[in-house]
Every structure is written in structure tokens, then in C-alpha cells.
Amino acid sequence: MAVAALGSVVLDCPDPIALARFYAGLLGGEIVPGGEDWVELTGAGSTVIAFQAAPGFVPPEWPRPDASQQAHLDLTVADLDAAEKEALALGATVLDAADRERTFRVYADPAGHPFCLCAC
């Protein structure tokens, strides 16, 4: 028997509404303000993505020099090239997309969180 259910995935960031707009552009859904420092993106799948203001936010480092894995989002897409074009137009930056034969490419959102576009 489960002890808990996943309520949301929360990303710390300097500007919750701006990051929510970025992910709404990628995933669709509705942006729902939840207070001064909290915004949620609903309707973009089965899990709510929330964005929380974090004073002094420092973006994750990718790749990590110690090679440890960080948490990141895998976003499934039908067409990697088309999705990449849209993600970059929305403000993503390329972290690792040189291997065009791979089934995934790695980017950073405008706050610096790594995410993958996956044709899986």
C-alpha cells in the first residue's frame, strides 16, 4: 500500500510566472497563480508542475564535474527537430544536442534547469 501520492513536481526559480510560461509554451496547460511565490501549471499531463520563487537561486550545473545525475524532466515529443525549434524559440538553451542520431537531446530552461526532449 502506498504511503503517499505525487502531488506535483516543483522547480525553484527566480521568476515563477516566467518559468511557468516557458513550460506552458512547451507542454500546454493552464497557469494557475497560487500566491506571491508560487505558480502551478495544470492540464499539461497527469502531474502538476509548480514553480516556486527561490531568493538567491543558483541554477543546476550540467554536466556535473563529479558526473552525478541531477533531477530533470524528460519531455516526450513526436519530432525532435520541430520540438527543438519551438523550445529554443521559447528561451531554452542547448546543453547537449550534437548527436542528431540519439533519441534524446538535452537543454536548459530559462532558469537553468536541465530537461530532455525525447523521441522515445
CATH architecture of 6-58: Roll (3.10)
Q: 59-120: what CATH class?
A: alpha beta
Q: In angstroms, rounded to a whole number, what is the distance separating the alpha carbons of residues 50 and 67?
A: 27
pLDDT in tens, 50-96: 999 999 999 888 877 776 667 889 999 999 999 999 999 999 999 99
What type of residue is 94? Answer: V
| pTM of the predicted protein model | 0.89
Parse the chain into domains and list their residue ranges.
6-58, 59-120
CA count, 13 A, side-chain hemisphere, 80? 18
pLDDT of residue 69: 65
Return the H-helix or E-strand segment holding 102: none
Are 6-58 and 59-120 in the same CATH fold? yes
